[in-house]
Amino acid sequence: MFNEFGRHEAAFDQWVKGDFPGAKAETVEYLRHLSDPQDDARPREGTLWPHQWDSLLRIIYAYEIERDALAQPNGLLLNVVTGGGKTAIIAAAMAWLRLAHDVKQFVLLCPNLIVRDRLEEDFQDGKVFADRGLIPPDAPFRADDFALSTLGSDRPRGWANLLGSSVVLGNIHQFYATNASGQANLAALMNGPEFVVFNDEAHNTPAPEWDETLEKMRPKTLLRIDTTATPDRADNQAPGSKMIYEYLIGDALADRLVKSPVVYQPNISTVELTYTDARTGETRGVEEIDWAEVDRLGISATRWVTDAKPMQQQMGIALRRLEEQERRAKGRYQPILFVVAVCKLDAEKAAKTLERRFGVKTLLVTEDSSDEERRKATQIRSARRAGEPYKAVVSVLMLREGWDVPEVGVILLLRKFSSKVYGQQVVGRGLRRVRLSSVKSDEQQICAAVDHPKLEHQWLWSIFGGKIRTDVGLDDEFDELEDLPEPPPRQELTQPENVIDLPEPSGELEGEFEIAVAAQSAAPLKNWREVLEGIAYPTQTVEITGQTITDVESRELTDGGWMMRESHDAPYTAMSHIDVEAEKIADGVQQELLAMAERLLAEAGHSSQFKGRIYEILLRHVRTKFLDGASLRLAQQHHLEAAQRTLSKVEESVGGVPGLVEGMVKYGDQ
């Protein structure tokens, strides 16, 4: 996403050095309250961090000096790394707007309950204003005058409460016109005073109803400020606001505001495979092959971390990292292992393995978790104070943005990410520093990420750049003081006058261009039932029952980018079998078939409105081919296990026949 502020940087710099000419007198007074008495171009210690101060100054400049060029019509966007303190920026902007522009109401939007709960904790009773000293002593209001109304919580609700609140906090869905409560909340808001909208985690914004809701709020919206750590989405969409500030991972590392990521991957020499008869469940043979030859097997990436043996080996590596983190913590806090799975079945299996095999107290959070269980995930620290600390949390992408637990010291990836947004959000859960009185501000902190090479996450780690370091002994142990050099210097725009505006396309093209013709959908197969029935699958399924790990390779994010080292610290783990109930496997198969139906439709160019039809067809297909005609709930367990292991082959086979999915869509109800 393009930084719109670059062309204004030189004028902005002169504006700051010139004591903010053109700004309102109340604005200048507020900035003097926050600024260092010895240097009014910098923040006073104990208020804002330097990058938060820079964010606030750019908001003010955009709103009061370059309003038409930047702040209108869709507002401003701040791209601030996870752990960069976006909440304090929001609070400082609220205090300024109330002092200088007499804004009495602020609407704080968020995408989910976890983000909402975190914001509620920060703004309840004016906590964030008081903690950062954001309100001048002579201001005509106090921190607790920012009365908070949280929609959907157990606190009083209704029009009167909403209209009487200074800060209205809610999930964006609670203002959707497609539900009765959303209509009522929106009507109450639009019948009140003008307000400023803070759109937190704004990367979620490109959705029709979200955009529609923001548009309906526009007549009463004085200013919209978006905040996010990942503005560019996997679908190439971005919020409609103009980005005016970037504070990225490299900047935060240079300022020692976040932990340094360290990535651990096992080096594998051989793999043991066990073959099972899909019809009888009888084990037919074992094969050991060289790691370099495994690609020919076509085993799905996730299987390399979800089959029992490799999962336990990855957990062994992760728990060794957790032990290291506990030694660094020195009893001041309990480091947490955060495990990310691809589906509920894998998450439940991972949680069971940690609890039963390794004896690690584990909290499982899935879409079926109760509000109480989700609340526990945000209150890890209080659980330790109660004498029952969790050492691990397992999630299925339920804990992304908004789940801010600084104690997360190790992240174990049991899924493959294809989305740049989700990948960065998950890694971001481990970037927030532990901030306690007993932890020095310059103390080096790291986040260890355990990642299997078959997940092919090089793109994720390469976001930060890469460099290889050699000649490191296998028996070296990781030392955060020796192995993490000084962070890189911050990159600054030194010649803003060279920033140019790209002209808008004129609509006329000159010269000759090769026009790419969009691929045409295959003709729908009218005999799709016959074709689908003719697809054959192997009579044997394969399970990864062994990996010989020679060592574990780690890469540290340093001033030279990602640098590589090796350590011989993959622990020997005596494997044990973790039983998974047939009902849980059936649930997993059902969920994967639903997801598969959606993916196949997207690849064939159809909308998800046909998802139910494709799911029913796939379910009948799986019952016929793998379950001996039985339903998911009545099938034998070894049949369910065979189906689960072969689902990737089902998707490959069905999607690989031109016109098959199109035929299901067009002729499926005939």
Report the alpha-carbon distance of residue 1 to residue 239 in Å, rounded: 9
In the numeric block, which tokens belong to residue 412?
Answer: 């174990």
Which pLDDT value is given to residue 351? Answer: 92
Please, how many CA atoms are within 13 Å of residue 561, restricted to the half-sphere of its CB? 9
Residue 135 has pLDDT above 50, yes or no: yes
Orientation angle between helical segments 611-625 and 637-655, nearest 10 degrees: 130
Which pLDDT value is given to residue 204? Answer: 56
Report the alpha-carbon distance of residue 73 to residue 564 in Å, rounded: 47
Q: Are 189 and 217 in contact (CB under 8 A)?
A: yes
Q: What is the mean pLDDT of the chain?
A: 80
Which pLDDT value is given to residue 308? Answer: 87
User: How many residues would you count in the chain?
Assistant: 670
In the numeric block, which tokens belong to residue 455?
Answer: 């997940």
- What is the tens place of the pLDDT at every residue in 307-347? 888 899 899 989 988 998 999 899 898 899 999 988 888 88
CA 316 to chain centre: 25
Domain 260-478+540-567 has CATH 3.40.50.300: yes
Domain 71-254 -> CATH class? alpha beta
Count Cβ atoms below 10 Å from residue 196 Cβ, excluding itself.
Answer: 24
Write the burial class of residue 159 (CB in 10 Å: 0-12 exposed, 13-18 middle, 19+ buried). middle
Which pLDDT value is given to residue 502? Answer: 47
Q: Which residue has tokens 């029709």?
A: 208
Mean pLDDT of 80-106: 92
Q: Is 283 helix (H, G, I), strand (E, B) or coil?
A: strand
Edge-to-edge strands of the sheet including 221-228? 148-150, 167-171, 106-110, 195-200, 221-228, 76-80, 242-247
Measured over the CA atoms of residue 171, residue 175, residue 181 and residue 186, the dihedral's sign is positive
Which pLDDT value is given to residue 236? Answer: 57
Q: Is 542 helix (H, G, I), strand (E, B) or coil?
A: strand
pTM value is 0.71
Residue 508 has pLDDT above 50, yes or no: no
Please, how many CA atoms are within 13 Å of residue 668, restricted to the half-sphere of its CB? 19
Report the alpha-carbon distance of residue 255 to residue 196 in Å, rounded: 31
In the numeric block, which tokens belong to residue 183?
Answer: 């209509």
Q: Which of 554, 502, 497, 538 is nearest to 652 (CA)?
A: 538
Count Cβ atoms below 10 Å from residue 308 Cβ, excluding itself.
Answer: 18
- What is the tens place of the pLDDT at every residue in 380-434? 665 555 566 789 999 886 555 556 788 899 999 998 887 666 777 777 788 888 8
- What is the tens place of the pLDDT at every residue in 620-640? 999 999 999 999 989 998 899
Report the alpha-carbon distance of residue 342 to residue 84 in Å, rounded: 28
Q: Which of 128, 137, 129, 5 is nearest to 60 (CA)?
A: 5
Q: Are 556 and 262 in contact (CB under 8 A)?
A: yes
In the numeric block, which tokens belong to residue 621?
Answer: 């297909």
Residue 449 neighbours by CB under 8 Å, 6+ apart: 261, 262, 263, 264, 410, 411, 413, 427, 430
Report the alpha-carbon distance of residue 386 to residue 383 in Å, rounded: 5
Count Cβ atoms below 10 Å from residue 173 Cβ, excluding itself.
Answer: 18
In this predicted structure, which of 84-98, 445-459, 481-495, 583-597 has the lowest mean pLDDT? 481-495
Report the alpha-carbon distance of residue 646 to residue 275 in Å, rounded: 13
Q: Is 213 left (phi over 0), alpha (psi -120 to 50) or beta?
A: alpha
First-last CA distance in the chain = 47
Report the alpha-carbon distance of residue 457 to residue 201 in Å, rounded: 24
Q: Are 217 and 187 in contact (CB under 8 A)?
A: no
Q: Are 105 and 195 in contact (CB under 8 A)?
A: yes
Report the alpha-carbon distance of residue 368 to residue 189 in Å, rounded: 32
How is 443-486 classified by DSSP, letter by letter? ---EEEEE--GGG--HHHHGGG-B-------TTPPP-TTTSS-P
Q: Are 200 and 115 in contact (CB under 8 A)?
A: yes
Which pLDDT value is given to residue 660? Answer: 94
In CATH terms, are 71-254 and 260-478+540-567 the same topology? yes
Measured over the CA atoms of residue 40, residue 45, residue 49 and residue 55, the dihedral's sign is negative
- What are the sequence ranges of the domains in the chain? 71-254, 260-478+540-567, 579-667
